[in-house]
Amino acid sequence: MQKIKKKVEVDFTLLSVLLLLVFIGVVMVFSASSYVALNDPAYNDMYYFLKKQGTFAVVGLATMFYVLRIDYHKYKKWTLVFMLLTIPINLAVFAFDPVKGAQRWIRFGPMNLQPSEIAKYVMVLFLAHSISRKGDKMQSFLYGVLPYLGVAGAYAALVLIQKSLSITMVILGTTLILLFVGGVKKKYFAIVLGLVFTFGVVFILIEPYRLERLLSFTDPFADPRGDGYQLIQSWYALASGGLLGQGLGQSRQKCFFIPEPHNDFIFSIIGEELGLVGCLFILFLFSVLIYRGIRIASKAKDTYGSLLAVGIISVIAIQTVINIAVVTGAMPVTGVPMPFISYGGSSLVINLASMGILLNISSQTEK
């Protein structure tokens, strides 16, 4: 009888980094939001965002530890159900009034749900399950490329009509990575890259505000009070932080200069308050997180687990890169939160749930 191999404990390094990132996120959300929360009549409570983000963190961590106990193989039989349910959930956002021109949220009283956050991980579940079953068929354009372009394109379009270009980019980027890891031939992969690039150009051109953002990115000072405003204020924050920063809670740009500094531009506040050292520490933590995710993928006991781990860590990596690139002016401004750091319940809870899956995969890797 074949000897049953022992299972190892969860990746302690990954878990430690996650807990540290969540703790830093709660602290920085409070620091970045306290002035706005105190002086904006809509809140009138400096602890408003701290209370909410603290609650999201507790719920997210509880969800992560619950998901951690579920064998990741069980998601295979639920993948189709998840995919079908994701469609009406994402369409339900159109039953609610738009916020700043975008319809991305379902409201439950004081709580909001952003369904596009669910869509990106459902795509990972689908891709990992389907690619792991196809084997050598992945080298065929008809079976290994075309179906995934169709499904990814449909889900990307579902998110794009909500005016969430950033999550659309995450879905398409993750699809490309999983196709590459899944064994698609290089020539087919090049074709896919060309199609995705063309898709991106077309959807930038058909929406005037996206084209304006692209043009303002090349010279934000050409419109310092309009499309270039956020990036310029972000640069001011990063520049004034210097090496060691102004000190925790001492940011000036959070005082109604950077709009909603606790959201997508929280990295600017980190740079201003904690300096270059603080920014590099955050980058170090994400580097460790991504490295451990790749290590888990390489040691997974089956192809499904490996692809699932690659997909999950790719979502986190892509969002992190996009967020930092936007804040530093390396790419046009688009609204994507920094995982585990930026304010937002849907993003934090769903990202932590996905980390629960990754930790479960790590618990089943072979010694």
CA distances from 3 to 176, 301, 302 (A): 38, 15, 17
Q: Which residues pair with 41 in a beta bridge?
A: none
Q: For residue 3, is it within any domain?
A: no
Tokens of 154: 């449909």
Residue with tokens 């021109």: 101
Q: For residue 44, is it within any domain?
A: yes
pLDDT of residue 5: 46
Tell which residue, 141, 24, 117, 186, has the closest CA to residue 344: 117
Q: For residue 216, is it within any domain?
A: yes
CA gap 165, 101 in Å, rounded: 13
| H/E run at residue 30 | helix 12-39
CA gap 214, 165 in Å, rounded: 13
Q: For residue 313, is it within any domain?
A: yes
Q: For residue 31, is it within any domain?
A: yes
Helix axes 165-181, 146-160, angle to 10 degrees: 160
CA gap 12, 35 in Å, rounded: 36
Total residue count of the chain as it appears in this document:
367
Residue with tokens 């000036």: 252
State which residues form the domain around 95. Answer: 12-363
Tokens of 44: 């009138």
CA gap 144, 104 in Å, rounded: 32
Q: For residue 5, is it within any domain?
A: no
pLDDT of residue 4: 42
pLDDT of residue 216: 67
CA gap 319, 311 in Å, rounded: 12
pLDDT of residue 214: 67
Tens-digit pLDDT profile for the chain (367 aa)? Answer: 344 444 448 899 999 999 999 999 999 999 999 999 999 888 889 999 999 999 999 999 999 999 999 999 999 999 999 999 999 999 998 888 787 767 888 887 777 889 999 999 999 999 999 999 887 788 888 888 889 989 998 999 899 888 888 888 899 999 999 999 988 888 888 888 888 788 777 766 776 666 666 666 777 887 788 778 889 999 999 999 999 999 999 999 999 899 889 999 999 999 999 999 999 999 999 999 999 999 999 999 899 999 999 999 999 999 999 999 999 988 887 778 999 999 988 899 999 999 999 999 999 876 5
Q: For residue 106, is it within any domain?
A: yes
pLDDT of residue 208: 66
Sheet strands (E) in 39-137: 106-108, 111-113
Contact 128, 311 (CB under 8 A): yes
Q: For residue 73, is it within any domain?
A: yes
Contact 95, 115 (CB under 8 A): no
CA gap 310, 163 in Å, rounded: 27
Domain count, the chain: 1
Tokens of 3: 């000897």
